[in-house]
Copies of this chain bind each other. A is one copy, B any other.
Amino acid sequence: MAPSRPQTVAALLADTEPFKRLTPAQRQRLVAASRERRYAKGETVFREGQPADAVCIVKEGRVHLIKFLEGGQASTTCVMTPGETFCCLPALDRKPYPADAVAAADSVVVRVPTEAFHQLLQENPTFLQDSLCLFCDRLRQVEQKSCLAYDSVERRLAQALLGLSKKFGATVPLTKHELAELAHTTVETTIRILGHFRKQGLITSARGSTTISKPETLRRLAGL
């Protein structure tokens, strides 16, 4: 069997936006051009400012998109899980990657060359339309999120947990440190506030994971 396992990749694409509505033949063209790569935990997939040579899809593991603020403080803007596509933005406007991408666990990533993606955009108005809608959604999300930035840490943490539970289910496999980077705060504050949540019976917490026991109450607390 070939190391790139093309049939599996095709199945992955068939199930992820914006590739869902492509014909099998079109998908096959992308698959043929794309390559699969394994990243060890902590390894960098790409860096902010690099020319964007590929659109990426997570196949296994977990990849974090990270921005570095003034003073070197890391802030993860997004947690990508299997089946999620990231950075089609550069494929549309051919500008560099807007953030760092780092494997937060041992991961497998499918890389579709920007060229192939872009060519398909030109040829296929439906694909263009779908990509566009994906983008509009993303823009709305980001605008929404930038409003939450001014909430209290308690709220941001509650929202981070709820967002992650959509991807992972009730138990979220992130360390407190990773949660802190997501909620733009420090580990200490994160631990303290999760402590409050625990005392209220909203969550239970273990080494490397925290599980939500009362999502409703947490949602109220998050202001949603």
Contact = CB atoms under 8 A, between A and B. Distances in A.
A77 B143 contact: yes
A23 B223 CA distance: 48
A150 B98 contact: no
A41 interface: no
Interface in A142-170: 142-143, 145-147, 149-151, 155
B149 A93 contact: no
Contacts of A146: 77, 142, 145-146, 149
Q: For the complex formed by this chain, how many copies does it contain in all?
A: 2
Interface string A81-99: 0000000010011010011
Interface in A61-77: 67, 69-70, 75, 77
B139 A75 contact: no
By size class, the interface of chain A is 20 to 34
Nearest to A222: B70
A5 interface: no
Given A128-B128, A149-B146, A149-B150, A140 B89 contact: yes
B95 A150 contact: no
A216 interface: no
A147 B93 contact: no
A150 B69 contact: yes
Contacts of A136: 89, 92-93, 95, 135
Contacts of A184: 150
